[in-house]
Amino acid sequence: MQGRRVLVGIGGGIAAYKVCEVISSLAKSGVEVRAILTQSAQQFITPLTISTLCRHPACTDQDFWQPTHARPLHIELGEWAEVLVIAPLTANTLAKLVYGLADNLLTNTVLASTCPALLAPAMNTDMWEQQTVQRNWTQLQSDPRYHPVGPGAGMLACDRIGTGRMAEPAEILSCIDSLLHTKGQRDLAGKHLLISTGGTREHLDPVRFIGNPSTGKMGIALAQAATHRGASVTLVHGPVEPGLLASLATVRAIPVVSAAEMRQALLEYFPHADWTIMAAAVADVSPAHYSSAKLPKAALPAMLPLEPVPDIAAELGSLKRPHQKVIGFAAQTGDIVTPALEKLLRKKLDAIAANPIDQPDSGFGSDTNQAVFLDSQGRQRAIGPCSKLQMAHQLLDFIQSV
């Protein structure tokens, strides 16, 4: 993210306070951030606050009309930005964008730029549900330059419960990250991706199970990256923290617990998938006997009889049709390439991502990851430590070339 350029336009609404976290996070990650405040935005948040967080002076309409720049300010800002973010997007600015109006610095800059624009609307529920606002929102999304995020539902600042909450900073940041990678291209439009994630639990009784430390973050990042690139996604996931799924409003999420349930769900949706990415940490064995009542401690067997669970990736690899691709993951220690390559060939996969889970900030539970991608043609690509969303995009790039 070092040196990337993001321009943030701030509209007039109470949700403007959330933009502070977005700008601060971007700046801390090395992104160069500039900001434009509309006149109404300054009623909610000050240019001094934004300037401090950006590490650069915030721009206002007062700057727009001052002949203090070598080039027109809106042209300079529009050409500088790699991604333009408007948050909060008000009903007023939305209407101006639809009709190409330019009566302030922000809207002039929008017309003077060609970079992808991320729009995060926020307003009262009754305002959001007006037919005119919905018509404008629908029409604007038909322009491939504009990328929507939110709004969400919940308690609003006006005490109304409903739709109109601006997307949370974490969701906005992930969309910005994706746009910087894709430059706004929806290159997976028309594709259906089936993704598995999270760990499975093989229960001995209602309270005890064989499991693993998978949190599902990698598969969720893959689902985010794929939807940001225009794909439709079905996500089959083991037990994960509910908050991790909050940003996947357009994803069909299928919760499962055991390997058997995951297999059943994947087999159901597999015929409709173009790509299937097996990022889940599926159990290899399960207890041979299940007790429907909790076993007393004294009744626990000294040696637990186990039985293998079906190899889902191998089954899907044998079922795939010519237009389908099946991609696996291999969590390894030590030499990660040799066992991953063996798994790739044995299970008839098209590609595999080998993760070194014995390295710092990599693998289970981490927000970052690293890997070696391999395909069935013998190609390898090493991916250094990065966020799981960035790795997801790089894996999707790799799959396209398989």
Collect all residues with Cβ–Cβ distance below 8 Å to 243 and sequence separation of at least 6.
Answer: none
| CATH number of 330's domain | 3.40.50.10300
Collect all residues with Cβ–Cβ distance below 8 Å to 86 and sequence separation of at least 6.
Answer: 8, 9, 10, 11, 93, 106, 110, 117, 118, 119, 120
Determine contact, residues 317/348, Cβ cutoff 8 Å.
yes
Q: Give the C-alpha separation, 198 to 389, whole Å.
A: 16
The owner of tokens 């040196």 is: 3
Together in a domain, 226 and 347 = yes
User: Is residue 36 included in any domain, yes or no?
Assistant: yes
- For every residue of 300-331, DSSP letters joined together read S-SS--EEEPP-HHHHHHHH--TT-EEEEEEE
Q: Which spans in 115-168 are helix H?
A: 125-128, 131-141
Determine contact, residues 392/368, Cβ cutoff 8 Å.
no
Rounded alpha-carbon distances, angstroms, from residue 244 to 138, 160, 170, 239, 294: 27, 25, 11, 11, 30
Q: Is the peptide bond before 296 cis (omega within 30 degrees of 0)?
A: no
Together in a domain, 225 and 178 = no
Last residue of a domain, one of 148, 182, 216: 182
Together in a domain, 239 and 382 = yes
| pLDDT at position 69 | 65
| pLDDT at position 278 | 97
| pLDDT at position 68 | 65
Q: Give the C-alpha separation, 114 to 120, whole Å.
A: 18
User: Is residue 392 included in any domain, yes or no?
Assistant: yes
Together in a domain, 262 and 390 = yes
Together in a domain, 101 and 210 = no
Which residues sit opposite 203 in a β-bridge?
209
The tokens describing 375, both together, are 């395909």
Together in a domain, 162 and 305 = no
Together in a domain, 213 and 169 = no
* Structural domain span for residue 62: 5-182
**115 flagged as catalytic:** no
The owner of tokens 């002039």 is: 108
Together in a domain, 201 and 63 = no
User: Is residue 357 included in any domain, yes or no?
Assistant: yes
Together in a domain, 20 and 143 = yes
| pLDDT at position 204 | 93
Q: Give the C-alpha separation, 245 to 217, whole Å.
A: 10
CA end-to-end distance (rounded Å), the chain: 27
Q: Give the C-alpha separation, 48 to 12, whole Å.
A: 16
Q: Give the C-alpha separation, 146 to 142, whole Å.
A: 8
Phi/psi at 208 (5° precision): -120, 140
| CATH number of 52's domain | 3.40.50.1950
What is the strand order of the sheet 117-121 is part of? 32-37, 5-10, 83-89, 117-121, 146-148
Last residue of a domain, one of 151, 182, 213: 182
Torsion 45-48-51-57 (CA) sign: positive
Which candidate in 59, 115, 158, 386 is catalytic? 158
User: Is residue 89 included in any domain, yes or no?
Assistant: yes
- Residue 251 DSSP label: S
Q: Give the C-alpha separation, 13 to 89, whole Å.
A: 8
User: Is residue 240 included in any domain, yes or no?
Assistant: yes
Strand segments (E) across 24-148: 32-37, 83-89, 117-121, 146-148
User: Is residue 151 included in any domain, yes or no?
Assistant: yes
Q: Is the peptide bond before 151 cis (omega within 30 degrees of 0)?
A: yes
- Residue 244 DSSP label: G
Together in a domain, 203 and 155 = no
Together in a domain, 154 and 58 = yes
Q: What is the pLDDT along the chain (402 residues), one digit of tens a residue?
A: 788 999 999 999 999 999 999 999 999 999 999 999 999 999 999 999 999 999 999 999 998 877 766 788 999 999 999 999 999 999 999 999 999 999 999 999 999 999 999 999 999 998 999 999 999 999 999 999 999 998 888 878 877 888 888 999 999 999 999 999 999 999 999 999 999 999 999 999 999 999 999 999 999 999 999 999 999 999 999 999 878 888 888 899 999 999 999 999 999 999 999 999 999 999 999 999 999 999 999 888 888 999 999 999 999 999 999 999 999 999 888 999 999 999 999 999 999 999 998 888 887 888 899 999 999 888 999 999 999 999 999 999 999 998
Q: Give the global pTM.
A: 0.91
User: Is residue 203 included in any domain, yes or no?
Assistant: yes
The tokens describing 288, both together, are 């041979």
User: Is residue 187 included in any domain, yes or no?
Assistant: no
Last residue of a domain, one of 182, 201, 221: 182
| pLDDT at position 363 | 77
Torsion 330-332-336-338 (CA) sign: negative
The number of folded domains in the chain is 2
Phi/psi at 371 (5° precision): -165, 170
Together in a domain, 206 and 247 = yes
Determine contact, residues 231/192, Cβ cutoff 8 Å.
yes
| pLDDT at position 97 | 97
